[in-house]
Chains A and B, each alone.
Chain A
Amino acid sequence: MNPPERDEPSGRRAREVVRRDEPHRPAAEERRLLAATWGRRPGLWGWLTSTSHQEIGRRYIVTALVFFVLAGIGALLMRLQLARPENGLLGPDLYNQVFTLHGTTMMFLFAVPVMEGFAIYLVPMMLGTRNVAFPRLNAFGYWLYLLAGSFLWGASLLGIAPDAGWFSYVPLAGPEFSPGKRADVWAQLINLTEISALIVAVEVIVTTFKQRAAGMSLDRIPLYVWSVLVMSFMVVFAMPAVMLSGVFLALDRLVATHFFNPFEGGDALLWQHLFWFFGHPEVYIIFVPALGFVSSIVAAFTRRPVFGYPAMVLALVATGFISFGLWVHHMFTTGLPQLGESFFTAASLLIAVPTGVQIFCWIATLATGRPRFGVPLLFVLGFVATFVLGGLTGVMLASVPLDLQVHDTFFVVAHFHYVLIGGAVFPLFGAIYYWFPKAFGRRLSERLGRWQFGLLLVGFNLTFFPMHQLGFDGMPRRVYTYLPGRGWENLNLLATVGAMVIGLSVLLFAANVMRSLRRGEPAGHDPWAADTLEWALPSPPPVYGPLHLPVVVGRNGLWEPGAGTTFVTGLDPHAREVLVTNFLDADPELRETLPGDSPWPLVSAVVVAATFVGAMFTPWAPVIGSVPLFFALLAWAMPEKEEREEAREQERQRQAGAATP
């Protein structure tokens, strides 16, 4: 086939999209060409250079789950240490490292990346496109994340795990009270993972804005995609704050600046403001995508669209906005002016409204649908039952007087595990049961799933419910041990037992995955007869995604009566072409060619990570690192052979055009 005639990039010439009855090529040939174009090279090299969103999304998820297990093992160690008073299992030095590693890993290396991984994996499929907008950047983001996480745990094995908590308050983490390199490890880990989070956010935003299937106007975007879109915007505005505070900290420690030094005009609370300006949205960055999981599962499992699409979308957006106005509720005990604090109480209470609206909408959906209680839906029910409890303790914490009592105690630990595990981990397990068949072509066992769910529900409540009372009884968080005789022994023991039950549940999950990968029931392409576009793809989906890009006719994707009748043809299967559509209505606009696989994202990530690690030791590291980085980026952006020909061809045309006016 001849390449289509060249058009001016400004698109002033032919833009018509015509209808035809046949695709350009027979399906078999198209499939073969697509597979050749999009497939990666075999072997390790292909693995290292791949830029497929499916592959990278899967890697994010698997890596994040590995970190979950590591941090979970840390949690079990802490629980064992606290099981009885004056226990000698972990000394203070080790305990402080373990709880810092647990919190840091769970937040930065598990919860956020696992949500990002799902977004990278699912969003292009749900939008009916072939890859994310910037595939090489996407690979770069993953490698940075992997290197950052390995760096943290590698350093920990060498005994330099950070030990100042997941929010690393200064001056404790500053140069004077944390000599050595532990706090630097934390700061550089944060900076690296935040870069990778920002990259994912940009990928999600641009892919959603510009690569939706033809016809998927804004009001037809699936709720899950809305939720990760909101998450991405929150990342864009929140992460800069923590990167900045990370830079301040690193500079204070490395070149003796005084951002946090109260005796030279700095301020210890500056850190808290910056960190929580990020940290509060951070918890919703974890929670909001989970709401998207819930909406997907609820729709499929009640056989009706989620009630109140506009309300759901508005609630998500409102949550995103309000979450930037709450950060001071983490600082109620720092002695800020009372009036200001009341404002943050009000804002914190306000955010219960959009969250409540979504819960009410799901309940309405359930009541008017035909629910069937498969494992994903069980996790959704468990989510509501646990998350609402955590949300309500959040409402208590938002009250300044109550927070004065329970701040920095195990009550807060209880609150945030209820919302994090109830609000994010329950939906996450539900999502894994739900999408596993898509990714691997086999279903997870329902029976094991029910057991896992039951154990998690029981173990979870056993672990964290008693902590509420411990908090009121005066037990601060982050203590490596406690003295006998204060009445904390029984509840702590109960919590430890509960944690073991959670561990059992996680083991059962691992067993289920192992078993089902090989012997699971074959799923077919759409085991749940669900609505979103990924279910039209074979399971597991081919690297190029859909054979012919779908055209969307309504909000409910595959459930719409006219779904599956209109497709796109005319993309060149010899190049990695995707359809670019316009922002509002998703009308076809461009055929953009994505770059191919490349080793340079990996090389660049290694250079960047090495630079950050080097910056723990010398301020010259960025200067030195910028040289190899420059060449790596140059190689990354270097045009491929086709482009050189393309350029020559265009040049000729331009000259021809100039000759014949």
Chain B
Amino acid sequence: MKRTVFLDVEALPHHAFGSRSPMWWGTVAFMVIEGAMFAMLVATYVYLRGAENVWPPPGFAPPSLLWGSLNTAILLASLWPNHKVHKAVEELDVSATRRWMLVGDLFAVMFLAVRVLELGGLNVRWDSNAYGSIVWLVMGFHTFHLLTDAVETLVLTGMMYTIPSERRMVDVSDDTLYWNFVVLVWLPLYVVVYWLPRWL
């Protein structure tokens, strides 16, 4: 007769931040998927460029630098409130979390607004030629990410004010991770959209 033994896990915590949480892995997995998409967009850009002699095609100016560069600065600056949120939430400091999330929301509004101006300065339409198509798709796809991230952050801000449970705090922490991703992925895209047509 085998003797059975039990491991009592009752004392284990319910939530954890970072790689101990399944949610963190889920977030990372989706970041990898989207990262792969961005990488393939860039590859497509380079591929289409390789088939042309003149880039951008004759008659089209490269995208205007002003708004794009400004937005890059705003996005980079938003890493700072984001970092603050991350720290605050992992210390379970609800009031600091709320405060910094509001700052983050402000940044979100800013970069979305500037993004609209950016789109006005691309100097090409999506249906002008393949160059225009890929530039617009890169911008559109990234804007889509900005938008969903902004909405998610807004919703989580609301939750921090109404039901700041630890489970949601884990979500907030993962959201800051995702925010970093959306910002960092912009940097290569910025180079591709704004600088490649000037260099190549």
Contacts and interface: CB of A to CB of B under 8 A. Distances in A.
Interface string B149-178: 001000100010001111111100000000
Interface residues of B, number: 62
A402 interface: no
Contacts of A551: 7
Contact of A568 (B6, B15, B37, B164): B6
A240 B20 CA distance: 27
Secondary structure dominating the interface of B: helix
B130 interface: yes
Contact of B165 (A16, A23, A646): A646
> Size range of the interface on A?
35 or more
A11 B25 CA distance: 18
A274 B45 CA distance: 13
Contact of A639 (B11, B44, B151, B168): B168
B44 A566 contact: no
Contacts of B169: 9
A569 B9 contact: yes
A590 B129 contact: no
B181 interface: no
A565 B5 contact: yes
B29 A241 contact: no
A256 B133 CA distance: 9
B2 A565 contact: yes
Given A209-B25, A265-B57, A4 B47 contact: no
A490 interface: no
A198 B33 contact: yes
B37 A244 contact: yes
Interface string B86-114: 00001010100000000000000000000
Interface string B29-45: 11011101100110010
A257 interface: yes
Most buried by A among B13, B21, B47, B128: B13
Contact of B16 (A266, A273, A589): A589
B19 interface: yes
Interface string B112-125: 00000000000000
A134 B26 CA distance: 9
Given A265-B51, A568-B9, A591-B12, A10 B29 contact: no
Contacts of A593: 14, 167
B190 interface: no
B20 A582 contact: yes
Contacts of B32: 236-237
A93 interface: no
12 contacts: A10-B16, A133-B25, A211-B22, A236-B36, A240-B40, A258-B130, A259-B44, A264-B128, A270-B44, A274-B44, A570-B7, A589-B12
Interface of B: 2-17, 19-22, 25-26, 29-30, 32-34, 36-37, 40-41, 44, 47-48, 51-52, 57, 90, 92, 94, 126-134, 136-137, 151, 155, 159, 163-170
Interface of A: 4, 6-11, 13-24, 133-134, 198, 201-202, 205-206, 209-211, 214, 236-237, 239-241, 243-244, 247-248, 251-252, 255-259, 261, 264-267, 270, 273-274, 277, 548, 551, 564-571, 579-580, 582-583, 588-593, 630, 634, 637, 639, 643-644, 646-647, 650-651, 654
